[in-house]
Amino acid sequence: MSFISLVNVSRIFGNNENRTVALSGVSFSAEKGEFVVILGASGAGKTTLLNIIGGMDVASEGKYTVNGEDITALDSAGLTTFRRDKVGFVFQFYNLMPNLTAIENVELACAHAKERIPAREALSAVGLAHRFNHFPSTLSGGEQQRVSIARAIAKKPEILLCDEPTGALDSMTGKNILSVLKNLSREGERCVLIVTHNANIAQMADRVIRLSDGKIISDEVNPSPKDVEEIEW
């Protein structure tokens, strides 16, 4: 049994002339310890897929399971618990609270979590031990993204979902963030999925899934993922 499994997942928005098929018959699986990159152009269905995996949206058809649990069968309270306990999110624009310090941002996010690691430990894990008491406006873009990663991992999620996590960063800072994310997948306790339109990032993935018009057009295991330093940007 795979950790994450999607079988024939479709997502259809609207009716009649407003009907949009955002995802159609999507099937794939992923394991803990895997670093998965989902590639696709704008409109390919990447965000829709991430939202379904993260329990923010529900498939119109098909089945999605995590560790054997049928997420498609959960009601809204069940989805809330799933998101709270199992899923961490990292977004392109960090979404930090500007009036809270780095440590307070992390603490706030896991206030209701079932399990958690201390905020200081999470920030230290992403190389921010020297920035605990800084407000977001006094941090660089890369440092803010590290705070958002610390915030996501502090509640010990088994699934870490990243939507264009390097989209707002220069290449050196972006590589730095990717290396943090890859190390987090290597600890083996979680599956890290990144959606991006930047095909270069695929070179360092364990698995690369390509989406086009809501369909998977390829799903490949990368036999020799590159180190982040080696990839072209």
User: Locate tokens 């670093």: which residue?
Assistant: 35
**Judged by CB under 6 A, how many residues of this single chain contact ligand ADP?**
12
Answer for which of 8, 13, 93, 95 binds ligand ADP (CB under 6 A) is 13
Scan residues 33-92 and list those touching ligand ADP (CB under 6 A).
Answer: 40, 42-48
Closer CB to ligand ADP, 6 or 44, in the complex: 44
Q: Contact between 22 and ligand ADP (CB under 6 A)? A: yes
Closest CA to 147 of 168, 177, 170, 174: 177
Instruction: Find the shortest distance in angstroms from Cβ 178 to ligand ADP.
Output: 19
Q: Contact between 20 and ligand ADP (CB under 6 A)? A: yes
Closer CB to ligand ADP, 53 or 110, in the complex: 53
User: Locate tokens 């997948």: which residue?
Assistant: 185
Number of other CB atoms surrounding residue 138 within 10 Å: 12
Q: Contact between 109 and ligand ADP (CB under 6 A)? A: no
Number of other CB atoms surrounding residue 137 within 10 Å: 9
Q: Are 131 and 85 in contact (CB under 8 A)?
A: no
For the record, the structure tokens of 7 come out as 């079988």
Q: Contact between 167 and ligand ADP (CB under 6 A)? A: no
Q: Are 168 and 141 in contact (CB under 8 A)?
A: yes
Q: Contact between 141 and ligand ADP (CB under 6 A)? A: no
The DSSP code for 164 is S
Q: Contact between 128 and ligand ADP (CB under 6 A)? A: no
Binding residues vs ligand ADP (CB under 6 A) = 13-14, 20, 22, 40, 42-48
